[in-house]
Structure 1
Amino acid sequence: MTSSPQFSQEFINELKTLFTWRRDVRHFQSTPVNEKLLDQLLSVACTAPSVGLSQPWRYIKVETPTLRQQIYNLFKNCNKEAAQNYTSDQYKLYSNLKLSGLNDAPHHIAVFSEENPTQGKGLGRQTMPETTAYSTVMSIFSFWLAARAYNIGVGWVSILPPHEVKSILTVPEHWNFVAYLCVGYPQFQNETPELEQKGWEKRNPSRHKWIIR
């Protein structure tokens, strides 16, 4: 039996710093990330927990310029539609938000979740089949934290309609779209989330308390 590692207080403090400084990055440098390092990040992502050890995540590097342009056009249309749902004051704030790094980020990564993978033999998802998607999100977060440790930024573009993204990238029907990630070295970093800096929203202290039943 392998003995479990003992983590020092210094490591625990650095881990807390890593969580604190994880940011949804929108401003990227054009310098690409080394391919071997991207492969390492994917390997870390694949160590994430998954229901029944199903590993339902599917990562696609979107490198074809025409496909990237189609995704960007889709984003622009969706962003324009979303802006119409806000009041005039909210619209002004919304218009000042940079909601994607699609034009700047050197890497685009689309993440899908296989709906009912044979791997795992259905364990743990008979009553909650959505746990495959939850597992994929865990993998994305693992990728995100590992990227931050290497000073690589990740931005999640969450406004894209899943069926249209699936059509553009021609993936199997049973793959469910979960995330479109912009990846690259950030232009700058800040401990305070950009949405809070711009006055869109701020953290709610009540979310730091347990709900007791």
Structure 2
Amino acid sequence: ITTPTWLGRMPRFAGSTQHGKLKADEWRSFCTITLVYSLIKQWHDKDTRFQQMLANFMALISLVNIAHRRTLDHKAIADYRRATLDYLRGVKTLFLEQQLLPNHHAALHLSSMMQMFGPVISWRTFAFERYNGMIQAINHNSRIGELAVTFMRYFCMGSNIRAILAHGSKLPGAFNTVQDTFKDVFGSDVRGTFLNDSSVFDEEEGAVPYPPRSRRKRGELSTIARNLFSSLME
């Protein structure tokens, strides 16, 4: 399946130990795109149970897609409520051993919250979850009382480097050699939900993009001036 470039990475080998735990964005892409095509292809001509499971899965995809809309009206909220009930009824009918979980119950209340607060994108906590993921990726020594300082140090270090790199062409040529390393350490995939959420804000006028990546071969060493190195580490 070929997907638009603004979508995040499509998970490969999902569900296997080789891939590991899926992130929220990967779950969304995998279910709303990959499985939609795959299950229709695999189940469309099978017996009644497979047809019912396919319809049940499509009800889940419908409610997810409605919940991610930027704008909502009364009809969309009613469609969400109907799709949620169809999905949960299907779960209880098709999977008798499956017990409903707190998230299933919470989904029933989401339509009321949409009615009161508007589209979910305006009040969900995806940004906080993203920062939790960033914090979990920071190396630390597990010493209680020092974690906050370690996190703050890495955040400040990343902010300082971004500020330096924002000068673009004003930097010495040798500075471009740290681009790949910087993106490996502090970079992240900004497509998918992050891009969707941040696109509601206009780009800052006059913002200078990062300089292009250097053509340095992997494993090739290079040097930068000591004062530039000190600026990076502050």
Using CA pairs below 8 Å that are at least 6 residues apart, which structure has the higher relative contact order? 1
Is the strand fraction higher in 1 or 2? 1
The structure whose Rg is larger is 2
Would you say same fold, with TM above 0.5?
A: no
TM-score (norm 2): 0.20
TM-score (norm 1): 0.21
